[in-house]
């Protein structure tokens, strides 16, 4: 694929845009490291005073939080027209919080479990790094070579 200087670049988001995008969606993925290797889980979350909170029940996510290792949350989205994509990653440490005030704030912020089952643990991620990027989605015709009449890619020239 030839590079075209007029193609839009991927934009690195500043911290304010990262938090703006994190507040615009409620679903992301939590990545944790276990003895068996990395694991990734979908979670619904809410940003809360420079942190991110989610609820969970017993299992791998909770075990990883209690082990105290680093974790990451990734959230992505598209603009209304599906022409611009963004992705934000929050890296940090997490701990279980249990104060009644924490649960009240989480509920007021709209955090509620999406699936049935016990989700009695509220987890707060304190970021050590927040980064993001945004880019214009390139139409497939711009990056996918057209096939010849027999359904094959034409030979490179």
Q: What is the pLDDT of residues 25-42, one digit of tens each?
A: 999 999 999 989 999 999
The answer to whether the CB of 46 falls within 8 A of the CB of 109 is yes
Structural domain containing residue 106: 11-143
Assess if residue 1 is contained within a domain: no
Q: Please indicate whether residue 59 or residue 1 has the higher confidence score (pLDDT).
A: 59
Mean pLDDT over 53-62 rounds to: 94
Residue 112 lies in a domain: yes
Residue 149 in any domain: the answer is no
**Does residue 148 form part of some domain?**
no
Does the pLDDT value for residue 118 go beyond 90?
A: no
Domain membership flag for residue 151:
no
Report, as an integer, the average pLDDT of 120-131.
Answer: 96
Secondary structure (DSSP) of 82-106: S-EEEEEEEEEEEEEE--HHHHHHH
Reported pTM: 0.82
Could you tell me if residue 19 is inside a domain? yes
CB environment 50-59: b (16+ within 10 A), e (fewer):
ebbbbbbeee
- 51-56 vs 37-48, strand pairing mode: antiparallel
Give me the sign of the Cα torsion angle 42, 43, 46, 47: negative
Nearest-angstrom CA–CA distance, 109 and 116: 20
93 within a domain of the structure (yes/no): yes
Q: Is 71 exposed, middle or buried (0-12, 13-18, 19+ CB in 10 A)?
A: buried
Number of folded domains in the chain? 1
* Strands 37-48 and 11-12, bridge-based pairing: unpaired
pLDDT at 1: 43
Closest by CA position to 127, among listed 85, 88, 79, 76 = 88
| pLDDT top residue among 115 and 100 | 100
Domain with residue 65: its CATH number is 2.30.110.10
pLDDT-wise least confident of 30-34, 50-54, 129-133, 147-151: 147-151
More reliable by pLDDT, 138 or 145: 138
Residue 33 lies in a domain: yes
């Amino acid at each position: 694929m030839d590079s075209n200087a007029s193609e839009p670049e991927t934009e690195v988001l500043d911290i304010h845009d990262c938090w703006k995008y994190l507040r615009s969606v409620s679903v992301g993925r939590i990545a944790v490291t276990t003895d068996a290797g990395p694991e990734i889980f979908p979670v619904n979350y809410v940003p809360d005073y420079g942190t991110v909170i989610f609820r969970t029940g017993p299992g791998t996510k909770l075990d990883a939080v209690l082990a105290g290792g680093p974790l990451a949350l990734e959230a992505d989205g598209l603009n209304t027209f599906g022409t611009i994509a963004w992705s934000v990653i929050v890296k940090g440490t997490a701990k279980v919080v249990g104060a009644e005030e924490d649960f009240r704030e989480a509920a007021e912020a709209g955090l509620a479990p999406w699936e049935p089952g016990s989700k009695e643990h509220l987890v707060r991620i304190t970021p050590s790094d927040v980064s993001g990027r945004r880019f214009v989605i390139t139409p497939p015709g711009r990056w996918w070579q057209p096939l010849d009449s027999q359904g094959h890619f034409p030979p490179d020239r």
